Chains A and B, each alone.
Chain A
Amino acid sequence: MLRIEGVSFSYRDADTPALDGVTLDIPAGGVFGLLGPNGAGKTTLISILAGLQTATSGSITFNGRPLTEARAAEPRAIALVPQDYAFYPMLTVAENLDFFSGALGLAQRERQAQIAAAIAFARLEQVTGKPAEQLSGGLRRRLNLAIGLLGRPQVLLLDEPTVGVDPQSRRFLLDAIAGLPASGTTVIYTSHYMEEVEAICQRVAIIDQGKVLTEGALDALLRCEESIVELELGAELPAELAARHAAIAEGNLKYRLQLATPTALSGLLDALADAGCSVQQLKVGRENLEHLFMRLTKRSLRD
């Protein structure tokens, strides 16, 4: 659906490029996670896809057509939901939806239908007459998302859509976003919350310093061949076991251990039982996304 090939971009007066030869293939359907530390180039890439910036070099095609041409032909095909609350705080929810559907150029009948669908999707029925500035953080995020869906886009670009919301609203938003591909909308999702990406994305790309570090199906990326075991224990891991399995403590009684062979797992569990350490959680053969992210982007602090 979206083919990004060797795309580079530099901001005026910047010493290093924000994007440096980025190549990605985003298939239709599914939720594509775009991960990277602050300043990695995620927002720049999203801005280029949204038509707000133009790549310095490289090419982007959308359904086989150059992006600029495709956007001109179908301006509503790609929609952006910015990280900020990009709507009018002094207008009510209904007025905001009405304005943005008008700004999209929707005809009156389609407009009413799309507004109703967006309200139903984001469950905003109870607050349509309320000024946006009086909404809670969760409702504001839902309105932000609802506006993005007014044009029934083929691709929805979501930039950190769950920042600052309570767990219930986050759960609702994640479920709603995960359900979008079923109605024909491909989602490109950026977030700092690894567990969110792990929960809803089928494919991910990790970028840093303008370059793609890895890209592919999430399952394939997280599968590990080195027999790594992740444990959450009821008590501290005995020092002898820790030394034998090159354990890395990750806080809150969570450990990452290396097995000599995959069959050594039963021996490890027996040893833990003998030491009186109950096992709360166990993961084998699958790396955690956060580990993968930290391993690839290194642990040094970013801006």
Chain B
Amino acid sequence: MMTRLKALWRKETLALLRDRHGLAALFVMPVIFILVMTMALHDAFMPGAAIDVGYAIVDLDNSPHSQSLIRRLNKAGSFRHIASVDNPDTARQAIRDGRYALVLVLPKGFGERLLAPAGADGQPTEPLGLLVDPTLNPVLQLAFRTQTSAALGTLRADELTRQAGKLFGLPSAANAPDRDWPDEIVTVAVQNEHSIRPPSSVQQNVPAWLVFAMFFVVIPISAILIVERQQGTLSRLAAMGLPFRLVLLGKLLPFFIVNQIQAALMVGVGLYVVPLFGGEALVMPQGIGLLNWWLVSMAVSLAAVACALLVASLARTTQQATIIGGVGNILMGAIGGIMVPKFMMPAAMQTLAEFSPMAWGLQGFHTVMLRHGGFAAILPPVLQLLAFAVAALAAATWLNHRQSA
């Protein structure tokens, strides 16, 4: 039996090495995905990170209070203060030209009427103006408004305190510095250990696209199996007394190894290539954690190869297999939290995600990498993946027997 298995493994390896499209789908595509998505989502997974949107200020008041507000906004740091402009018309033109996305206009008399609500003393209070580029994400517009309101609130509180002190005859220093309020919020990611470092985009993207890439073995596996069936090679092998389960076993090991090479490559990209592009390096678990990570990787691989064999047994032509396999993978990835993280989905979609084997794989990797979970914690997704693999292999074997009957 080993002679036959070795021949099958060698044949699969040679066939795969000569399938350039299959190799590109397995190795090049996920590397590109990891690099692009890690860079694109670099800040999305980093709370408090600077947003790459700048604002300009038109200070028509030019008072100590307006200067204080500008300083407080600069200190917040989420948005970049890129310029100060003399008048609103110049600012409008600059927005039209695409140079600024946000311009805050501090009206004349801003400082004077800082503590006078509109109409309270019979005089109108001119509001602060926010000029925005209409293409700017509304969430960012809202974030800037909120940040400005917060800075305004602290400025008013300081001014109120100062004036109250004056009213009660308390001494106060002239030109007192802006006070720092303890209003900064520190994000803490809850893990089993005591690390407080939140996961970076590379921690999210490497396992996600690795799972996705592993399931793409469907392309080379179905390409070979369908050629074997169409050209009568499977019949010839059966006539040679080679059982179909041995043919499946002959495909399982080479593609299992391919999946493990993919895993090593993706981890390598996360560790060494992503930092070259300015991203954070991937942090891999150590010791027993690394073993658990590999267990998840093995379970994902078995599920992926079994799924590919099922697709190849269902499809009649290579085109059908590419469509069923390719589109099926994209759908599994979409509902399984590969493209859009599961926590960002509405509740109904999160329930749907529970049915995607890719989601089980991703859950296993996240349990090890982000929550630092142990063997007991990864067991549920690993068992789900293994059960799926067994069911898919049984279905593939049954389909092939049925077709040959």
Which residues of A line the B interface, CB within 8 A? Answer: 12, 47, 50-53, 71, 75-76, 78-91, 95, 98-107, 131, 147, 151, 157
Contacts and interface: CB of A to CB of B under 8 A. Distances in A.
Contacts of B230: 84
A247 B51 CA distance: 98
B238 interface: yes
B15 A151 contact: no
A37 B263 CA distance: 55
Given A52-B235, A81-B236, A84-B232, 8 more contacts: A76-B240, A82-B235, A86-B235, A88-B11, A90-B15, A91-B14, A99-B8, A107-B3
Nearest to B241: A75
Contact of B3 (A12, A50, A102): A102
B231 A79 contact: no
4 shortest interchain CB distances as A-B pairs: A102-B7, A75-B241, A82-B232, A80-B239
A81 B239 CA distance: 10
Interface string B37-67: 0000000000000000000000000000000
29 contacts: A50-B238, A50-B239, A52-B404, A53-B405, A76-B240, A80-B235, A81-B236, A83-B232, A84-B232, A87-B233, A88-B11, A88-B15, A88-B228, A90-B15, A90-B19, A91-B18, A95-B11, A98-B7, A100-B7, A100-B236, A100-B240, A102-B4, A102-B6, A103-B7, A103-B237, A105-B1, A105-B3, A107-B3, A157-B239
Given A52-B404, A102-B3, A151 B231 contact: no
Interface in B19-44: 19
Of the listed residues B4, B227, B241, the one surrounded by the most CB atoms of chain A closer than 10 A to its CB is B241
Nearest to A50: B239
A12 B405 contact: yes
Given A90-B14, A102-B3, A147 B241 contact: no
B243 to A, nearest CB: 11
B14 A79 contact: no
B231 A84 contact: yes
Contacts of A157: 239
A91 B224 CA distance: 12
Interface string B213-239: 000000000000001101111011111
Interface residues of B, number: 28
B99 interface: no
B11 A99 contact: yes
Contacts of B240: 75-76, 79, 100, 103-104, 151
A91 B11 contact: yes
B265 interface: no
Of the listed residues A78, A85, A86, the one surrounded by the most CB atoms of chain B closer than 10 A to its CB is A86
A212 to B, nearest CB: 23
Contacts of B404: 52-53
A52 B228 CA distance: 15
A90 to B, nearest CB: 4
Contacts of B4: 102-105
Nearest to B250: A103
A52 to B, nearest CB: 6
A79 B241 CA distance: 10
B319 to A, nearest CB: 17
Contact of A51 (B14, B18, B239): B239
A83 B232 CA distance: 8
B405 A82 contact: no
B391 interface: no
